[in-house]
Amino acid sequence: MKKFLKFLGAIIVLALVFILVSGLFIAKTFHFERNIVINSSKEEVWKNISKFSNFERWDPWKRYDPNMKRTIEGVDGTPGAIYRWEGNEDVGKGSQEYISLTPMEEIKVDLKFLEPMENHAQVFYRLTQENKGVKVTWGFESKFPYPFNAVCYFFMDMEGMMDKDFSYGLANLKKLCESNTSFTASK
């Protein structure tokens, strides 16, 4: 039994050393983005992404907690406006703040996660005309501290986790923007 425990201890120590050493060489930043072409006007897409109150209409995370608490502080759709949410363990708690909005082109958002773990990210939306539609690119950049960067790299499928929600949200946005005018978001 002692040999087994020593062997198990050695494996655990080697795994920790591997994580600590590899974390020195693995990127500490994570960039993710997805896009979709929406057959609608730029104006229609813009009004659905440029206000937090309209984000709630296509928010991919509301399916995890339809009862989450949300508040908007400041003038929605302008730099400095803050969207706060608090929900169950699937959606956690955090805030988004508009940093800049370049009409019909780009939005930059400061995203802060408070629960289930603290993290910070820069979110962006970009609109480009593509044939008769609008290409919407939604993405973010975040940093993972050492050695958590290695833990994420080896043990978490960040791309897969993010893709599921971002693709779902973009599909919701497409449906919202392409539907009849009675379903469109407010100005």
- Separation of alpha carbons 102 and 35, rounded Å: 18
With a cut of 70, say whether residue 72 has pLDDT above it.
Answer: yes
Question: What is the per-residue pLDDT for 1?
Answer: 81
Q: What is the residue extent of each domain of the chain? A: 2-181
Give the contacts of 4 (CB within 8 A, at least 6 positions apart). none
Question: What is the per-residue pLDDT for 52?
Answer: 94
Mean pLDDT, the chain, integer: 84
pLDDT, mean of residues 6-23: 70
Question: What is the per-residue pLDDT for 185?
Answer: 46
With a cut of 60, say whether residue 49 has pLDDT above it.
Answer: yes
Whole-model pTM: value is 0.77
- Separation of alpha carbons 152 and 158, rounded Å: 7
H/E run at residue 99: strand 93-102
Question: What is the per-residue pLDDT for 73?
Answer: 96
Class of domain 2-181: alpha beta
Question: What is the per-residue pLDDT for 181?
Answer: 47
H/E run at residue 30: strand 29-38
The conformation of residue 40, written as its DSSP 8-state character, comes to: S
Give me the residues paired with residue 33 across strands.
Answer: 139
pLDDT, mean of residues 34-60: 92
